[in-house]
Amino acid sequence: MVKFIRCLFHPTPSHSRQGVHRGVHAVAVLALAALVVPQGAVAQSAAGAEWSTPAGTVQGTRFSSLSQINTSNVSQLKQEFSFSTGAKAGHQGGPLVVGSTMYVVGPWPNKLFALDLAHPGQTKWVFSPNPSEYAKGVACCDISNRGAVYANGKIIYNALDNTTVAVDAVTGKQVWRTKLGDPRTGQTMVMGPLVVRDKVFVGNSGAELGVRGWIAALNVDTGKEVWRAWSTGPDADVRIGSRFKPFYAKDKGSNLGVSTWPGTLWKQGGGTVWAWVTYDPKLNLLFYGTANPATWNPDVRPGDNKWSSTIFARDPDTGDAVWAYQMTPHDAWDFDTVNENIVVDLPVNGVTRQLIVQFNKNGFAYTLDRTSGQVLVAEPFVPVNWAYKIDLASGLPVLDPAKATHEGVVTTDICPAPPGGKDMEPASYSPLTHLFYVPTMNICADTEPLKVNFIQSTPFIGASVLMKTGPGGDQGEFLAWDAVAGKKIWGIRERFAVMSGVLSTAGNLVFYGTLDRWFRAVDATTGKVLFETQLPSGIVGNPVAFMGPDGKQRIAIYSGVGGLMGAVALGGYSPADPYAAFGINNAMAALPQFTGPGGAVHVFKLP
């Protein structure tokens, strides 16, 4: 079973050149902008000396107010220390820093390491949750983990076998442990949890195995489940009631989580919640997205298939849905909506609006009014051809019939491919530049849906896919995006898909990593590369900033290739099979020439 699932995912390369491309007038305008962040904005949406949530802030900005490391000195960065987790798999997520301790969660077996920053590289303690090995066999797309959250003296995170654990941050002893699902049903858990007041929010994975998705709230101090909201099924299960007011007509109606599916297929409907959760303290709303519907064969499931590929806004206290927006109805291309919803306030047409911004797998960047779910801007940020545009009046994509997929028919050159124009690797927002910094992919696919039957804890895919490099010859680009204008400001083209998360800082810097092992710092305004170094393995983790015990700023990043697009570098896939791993083997065949497996955290500081 381990080999059967793991063989589903793997990538390919291209010999592309790297280069910075930017709008001429845009850079001139940005250069004139005052690089000063209003104190209120920093207080609301910036991390400080510590990094205590997966994104640094509950709003998901991944912006640090620290500025000791800046454009004038970042070229002098040196590695202070590195620490190996001992696991050779995808190291997604990023470390936490609380006080003088760094907390690192590794991929399966999901050990939690407490590192003493006062004595760099020394381990205070190691906690082992001992997750079921069965979970390894059903985990789709690697056995990674997207990090932990700190609250009330505890480090809280998910183990792969659907267990959430809370560990005393000082002693390393287990405080509580809650089992939320059985891996023998195909479920696993890898997402980064979020805490709001007395609740921690977690969700499941496994849409490719016909798992029914959910998000749950647990009591931070006891681990007791407070509420659970399903992604499919009757309104009562989805926690849709009198407070639910979606903006668009397409999302209005009773029990759409049942009626938009044939028969009882909603019970195997996917819509898992496997990536990120964000929160707006002003509106007291929780934001998250659901995954693709199961199966990948759209002819098996006529209808909109709600509430897959959907953004939900919920009351964190009760779990009640306040609004929802289904981004890709009847998703035929694996365009999950799990990517982060970044909470920001920005002027639109001269009026400051309360927004969320999501760079969706479907290749469109959405700017939405977070009070209502209205789409204000939706523009492609990568090559897109499955749809002509997003109709702002209806909220619906305007489809290109030539890129629709049907059983027994090969539809060629669909852009983007199932991994998306951007997967779950998180973007960042800087209030200095008012820009978003986005890791992207330029991968397209030939897809043939196939007949499929549901067998519990086995792949429920129903598609043959061959992935390949998209237009232009480069597989990725790291770019700066104006979410109000809906346009790219500058970009750095990369040989491979960019699968790391992003960090922006008050030093007017942006940090990111690449699959071919480069860790870079760039000028947030111009996109000029100011620092780069190669790490031992490809980078799919998320950089963080923090202040060390000596009062000096540090930057930390994981190395350890893996995840959906990087798994080919872990071995186990024959180069002779281009269709292995959803056809990613064809796209990423060259990656092992540039990186091997690894697994470590690296900490950098100024001399």
Condensed to tens digits (0 to 9), the pLDDT of residues 378-407 reads: 999 999 999 999 999 999 999 999 999 999
Distance CA 8, CA 84 (A): 27
Closest C-alpha to 309, from 324, 295, 294, 289: 289
pLDDT tens readout for residues 530-539:
999 999 999 9
* Exposure of 32 in the CB half-sphere (CA atoms within 13 A): 4
- For residue 551, count other CB atoms closer than 10 A to its CB: 8
Q: Which of 80, 304, 331, 334 is catalytic?
A: 334
Q: What pLDDT sits at residue 42?
A: 41
Buried b / exposed e across 350-361, counting CB within 10 Å, b at 16+? eeebbbbbbbbb
- Of all residues in the chain, the percent with pLDDT exceeding 70 is 93
Of 145-149, 214-218, 453-457, 581-585, which range is least confident?
581-585
Distance CA 521, CA 543 (A): 11
| Residue range(s) defining the domain that contains residue 392 | 2-605
Q: What pLDDT sits at residue 573?
A: 78
Total domains, the chain: 1
Q: Which CA distances in Å does 375 have to 332, 369, 437?
A: 22, 7, 20
Q: What pLDDT sits at residue 37?
A: 43
Full DSSP string of 527-552: --EEEEEE-SS---S--EEEE-TTS-
Closest C-alpha to 439, from 402, 486, 387, 476: 476
Does residue 76 have a pLDDT over 80? yes
Does residue 268 have a pLDDT over 60? yes
The average pLDDT across 397-422 equals 98
In angstroms, how far apart are the furthest CA atoms of the chain? 64
Does residue 227 have a pLDDT over 80? yes
Closest C-alpha to 45, from 279, 322, 204, 298: 279
The average pLDDT across 417-439 equals 98
Q: What pLDDT sits at residue 140?
A: 85
- 520 - beta bridge partners? 512, 532
Of 17-26, 183-192, 263-272, 288-297, which range is least confident?
17-26
Q: What pLDDT sits at residue 210?
A: 96
Q: Which of 292, 362, 442, 586 is catalytic?
A: 292
Q: Are strands 503-505 and 63-64 parallel, antiparallel or unpaired?
A: parallel
pLDDT tens readout for residues 518-529:
999 999 999 999
Does residue 505 have a pLDDT over 70? yes
* Banded model confidence at residue 331, pLDDT cuts 50, 70, 90: very high
Residues 6+ apart with CB under 8 A from 182: 162
Q: What pLDDT sits at residue 17?
A: 34
Distance CA 190, CA 449 (A): 27
Q: Which two tokens stand for residue 367?
A: 């700017």
Amino acid code (one letter) for 394: S
Of 73-77, 379-383, 420-424, 456-460, which range is least confident?
456-460
Does residue 89 have a pLDDT over 70? yes
Distance CA 235, CA 252 (A): 12
SS3 45: helix
Burial of 120 (0-12, 13-18, 19+ CB in 10 A): middle
Closest C-alpha to 554, from 607, 500, 478: 607
- Of all residues in the chain, the percent with pLDDT exceeding 90 is 87
The average pLDDT across 96-123 equals 97
Burial of 571 (0-12, 13-18, 19+ CB in 10 A): exposed
Backbone angles phi, psi at 169, to 5 degrees: -70, -20
Does residue 2 have a pLDDT over 60? no
Distance CA 200, CA 287 (A): 14
Q: What pLDDT sits at residue 4?
A: 26
pLDDT tens readout for residues 532-579:
999 999 999 999 999 999 999 999 999 999 988 888 888 877 778 888
Q: What pLDDT sits at residue 572?
A: 75
* Banded model confidence at residue 353, pLDDT cuts 50, 70, 90: very high
Does residue 20 have a pLDDT over 80? no
Q: Which of 80, 208, 280, 425 is catalytic?
A: 208
Name residue, tokens 């204000």.
Answer: 376
Q: What is the CATH number of the domain that holds 376?
A: 2.140.10.10
- 159 - beta bridge partners? 163
- 287 - beta bridge partners? 278, 313
* Banded model confidence at residue 580, pLDDT cuts 50, 70, 90: confident
**Alpha helices, DSSP H, located in 434-583:** 563-566
Active-site residue flag, 334 = yes
The average pLDDT across 163-177 equals 98
Does residue 16 have a pLDDT over 70? no
Radius of gyration of the chain (CA): 22
Q: What pLDDT sits at residue 33?
A: 36
Q: What pLDDT sits at residue 525?
A: 98
Q: What pLDDT sits at residue 335?
A: 97
Active-site residue flag, 208 = yes
CA-CA-CA-CA torsion sign (370, 373, 378, 383): positive
User: Please, are residues 537 and 519 in contact by the beta-carbon 8 Å criterion?
Assistant: no
Q: Which two tokens stand for residue 563?
A: 């995840």
Q: What pLDDT sits at residue 546?
A: 98
Distance in Å from the first CA to the final CA of the chain: 49
